[in-house]
Amino acid sequence: MSVAATTTTTIAKASPARGLAARSTAATTTTGGLGLGRRRRSSDAARRRRRGVARRVGVVVLAAASKGDDRPVVIIDNYDSFTYNLSQYLGDLGCEHVVYKNDEKTVAEIAAMNPKGVMVSPGPGRPEDSGISLEACEKLGPEFGVFGVCMGHQCIGQVFGGTVVRAPCGLMHGKSSPVWHTEEEGQLLHGLPRRVPISRRPFEAARYHSLVISREGFPEDELEVTAWTKDQTIMAVKHRKYPKIQGVQFHPESIITENGLHIIRNWVNLIDA
């Protein structure tokens, strides 16, 4: 697979054995992710291996296709460095994907790509600051499915009738909380491995946010709450009519979150079905 010679596009291919070797740290990102920061401290040899796979000239990565379906997942990047961790996990799962900044493509252009699914990344500010993300949740979600992470989760809540408010617990930055969840098949937190075989045991999840979907006036007719914290802060939602539209307030792509790769695998399996 060739490397596109544009200023915003890198194309790489993940090795099934080694996962996604390209862990891009393009200068277009604006916020720091814990996992990414640790990766920057990797050895010179590791950096040389990564440069052999993908040049640091942009933010689009293609991994090996899964299940013979070469349609890509589209990641809408809300100018957040955690986007690259999400890309890493999709690459580890052998899921072909492309990454576009939230002002780089129109929703119509993404729809014309016939993507396998759409992922809306974390990002700074409110959903109104997320470029095409709100429109993508509304117009692409019912047909292709949307997985919203942090701000992406808030976009789903706002599009389908919820209100995004200041978190009652205040700013959560790099903190972890126990998260309880439902166990129904078809939701992203189904089947999480458990260290203790106790039904509905919470798992630890990484939180980097100051906003949440409000419990007050929650659109029960459109969305279902599938995860929550001890103080009943909403941590995950699923659309009742379109189950491929799901969001999580926490960061499954952070090393702080237990079984984050399993959660993302559940979504990939959902859109592959």
Q: Known catalytic residues?
A: 150, 251, 253
CA 156/CA 147 separation, integer angstroms? 9
Instruction: Name the residue type at position 85.
Output: N
206 and 250 in contact (C-beta within 8 Å)? Answer: yes
Q: Interior CA angle at 53 toward 33 and 270, to 5°?
A: 60
CA 13/CA 103 separation, integer angstroms? 25
**Which among 15, 21, 26 has a CA at the least distance from the CA of 88?**
21
CA 98/CA 63 separation, integer angstroms? 9
- Write out the E strands in 152-216: 164-166, 172-181, 203-209, 211-213
Neighbours of 69 (CB within 10 A): 12
55 and 21 in contact (C-beta within 8 Å)? Answer: no
**Which among 139, 146, 141, 135 has a CA at the least distance from the CA of 188?**
146
- Write out the E strands in 37-190: 73-77, 97-101, 117-120, 146-149, 164-166, 172-181
The end-to-end CA distance of the chain, in Å, is 27
CA 134/CA 140 separation, integer angstroms? 10
